[in-house]
């Protein structure tokens, strides 16, 4: 493997070492990554790419002891960057912010620079491929398959960027990770500041971190998991500083539940992949217990109702609603119907379903430390497909506000399959530690669409 391949395929520690040791100057690092994306992005992941000078200035103005110094990362198009137009991947909306989102400020102070803005479902909300106003993101494993509603998972999977930040709305980011076989952490609601992020559905959205491994996610998370005076929903979490140091753990300390009744809803290949992953945990000493977790089949419908009623698509594009895509216009119509009909009875029912799910999982986590379940029902659907059946599991963390970690656990006809590990609120360090141990044993995170080898 030559030096450029090592740079584009390496971990965050390895990429940062190029800058810390002086192997690459800031402007060289920026030039190489920009050129790489411009040549290799055939998957419609990026909407635009950052200026080389802006990236180099961010790299130069940061401490040499930062673990993410020299890290290029991508952001979804609803995260504000000073003097850079945000369109939320829509032809009906544009906004030129005079400030950086707080997450971008945190990353810049640590020496990481925005590589570019990512494609996504129009205004951030979508439950099928028709939600794209621009071109649909292609799956790097098979370009005839969908990559979900966010370009972040596909960009990390295709080695176009080492990491990405994207807003998860109702489970969309977790589902994209499952389709592309990418590691993704959806933190506890309120753990990462959303100041400077163009909000669409405030109660079911949270900023997610995509990366190639749990260790890489931990290096980024330690820069973002802190309190904020600018976001009233954000809570302080100083105990998560340098969480990467505590990632090797003894798995026999944890009691992990396997949602066997959720597993029955998945297809045969997904079920086998998750069970195989569970065997890996057992071999490492983890205590696994089969549990029955109540399935509320109205979970997806509840997310749809909440996203429509809380949705701000009509306010974001108030002067250009006629330019919105079909799915966004349909959400606005549904919002008016659901909000008025019988005094919002559907919204009240959705809130009731949400409360029942929260109560069930709260009771479950009194007995176990973590819960393993499928990341989706099956592998990625064909382009233009619907994500409704796969959202059954991915929407649960969004509804409850609990943290979830999506990890690759196997393959079906050369398409990746992800499992999801959920935990109690504020248990991100435990989830990342469990995920890191699994990755070290299975090596599945090292497999890319361009380098397939034996794992386990």
One-letter-per-residue 3-state SS of 343-382: HCHHHHHHHHHHHHHHHHHHHHCCCCCEEEEECCCCCCCE
Class of domain 3-298+351-446: alpha beta
**pLDDT digit string (tens) for 242-254?**
555 556 678 888 9
**pLDDT digit string (tens) for 167-205?**
999 999 999 999 999 999 999 999 899 999 999 899 999
* pLDDT(342) > 80: no
Q: How far apart are alpha carbons 163 and 180 in whole angstroms?
A: 14
Q: How far apart are alpha carbons 141 and 42 in whole angstroms?
A: 12
Q: How far apart are alpha carbons 118 and 85 in whole angstroms?
A: 13
Query: Exposed, middle or buried: residue 268 (CB in 10 Å: 0-12, 13-18, 19+)?
Result: exposed
Q: How far apart are alpha carbons 228 and 226 in whole angstroms?
A: 7
Q: Are 148 and 418 in contact (CB under 8 A)?
A: no
What DSSP state is assigned to residue 239? Answer: G
Worst-scoring range by mean pLDDT, 202-216, 219-233, 249-263, 359-373? 219-233
Burial 380-411 (b: 16+ CB within 10 A, else e): bbebebebeebbbbbbbbbbbbbbbbbbbbbb
Q: What does the domain layout of the chain look like in residue ranges?
A: 3-298+351-446
Average pLDDT, the chain: 90
189: which 2 tokens? 């609601």
H-run or E-run covering 106: helix 102-109
Tokens 């993410």 correspond to 68
- What proportion of the chain, given as a percentage, has pLDDT over 90? 68
For residue 282, give the 3-state DSSP assignment: helix
Q: Report residue 453's pLDDT band, with 50, 70 and 90 as the boundaries.
A: very low
Closest CA to 141 of 456, 453, 447: 447
Q: Report residue 454's pLDDT band, with 50, 70 and 90 as the boundaries.
A: very low
What DSSP state is assigned to residue 248? Answer: -
Please report how many Cα atoms fall inside a 13 Å half-sphere around the Cα of residue 38, on the Cβ side: 10
């Amino acid at each position: 493997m030559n030096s450029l391949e090592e740079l584009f395929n390496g971990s965050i520690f390895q990429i940062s070492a190029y800058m810390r040791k002086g192997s690459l100057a800031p402007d060289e690092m920026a030039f190489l990554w920009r050129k790489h994306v411009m040549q290799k992005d055939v998957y419609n992941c990026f909407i635009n790419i950052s200026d080389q000078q802006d990236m180099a200035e961010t790299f130069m103005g940061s401490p040499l002891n930062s673990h993410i110094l020299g890290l290029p990362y991508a952001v979804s198009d609803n995260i504000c960057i000073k003097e850079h137009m945000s369109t939320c991947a829509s032809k009906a909306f544009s906004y030129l912010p005079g400030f950086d989102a707080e997450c971008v400020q945190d990353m810049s102070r640590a020496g990481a620079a925005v590589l570019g803005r990512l494609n996504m479902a129009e205004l951030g909300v979508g439950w099928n491929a028709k939600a794209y106003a621009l071109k649909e993101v292609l799956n790097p494993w098979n370009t005839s398959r969908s990559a979900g509603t966010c370009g972040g998972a596909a960009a990390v999977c295709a080695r176009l960027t080492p990491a990405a930040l994207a807003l998860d709305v109702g489970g969309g980011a977790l589902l994209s990770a499952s389709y592309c076989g990418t590691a993704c952490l959806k933190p506890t609601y309120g753990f990462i500041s959303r100041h400077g992020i163009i909000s669409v559905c405030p109660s079911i959205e949270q900023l997610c971190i995509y990366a190639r491994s749990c260790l890489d996610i931990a290096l980024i998370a330690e820069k973002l998991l802190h309190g904020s005076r600018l976001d009233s929903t954000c809570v302080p979490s100083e105990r998560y500083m340098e969480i990467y140091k505590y990632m090797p753990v003894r798995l026999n300390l944890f009691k992990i539940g396997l949602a066997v009744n959720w597993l029955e809803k998945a297809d045969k290949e997904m079920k086998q992949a998750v069970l195989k992953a569970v065997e890996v945990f057992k071999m490492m000493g983890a205590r696994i217990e089969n549990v029955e977790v109540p399935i509320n089949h109205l979970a997806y419908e509840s997310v749809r109702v909440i996203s429509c009623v809380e949705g701000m698509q009509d306010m974001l594009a108030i002067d250009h609603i006629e330019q919105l895509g079909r799915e966004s216009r349909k959400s606005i119509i549904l919002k008016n119907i659901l909000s008025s009909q019988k005094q919002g009875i559907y919204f009240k029912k959705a809130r009731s379903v949400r409360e029942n799910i929260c109560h069930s999982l709260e009771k479950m986590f009194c007995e176990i430390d973590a819960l393993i379940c499928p990341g989706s029902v099956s592998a990625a659907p064909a382009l233009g497909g619907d994500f409704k059946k796969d959202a059954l599991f991915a929407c649960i963390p969004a509804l409850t506000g609990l943290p979830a970690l999506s990890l690759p656990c196997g393959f079906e006809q050369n398409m990746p399959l992800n499992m999801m590990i959920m935990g109690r609120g504020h248990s991100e360090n435990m989830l990342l530690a469990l995920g890191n141990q699994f990755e070290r044993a299975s090596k599945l995170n090292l497999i890319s669409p361009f380098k397939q080898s034996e794992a386990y």
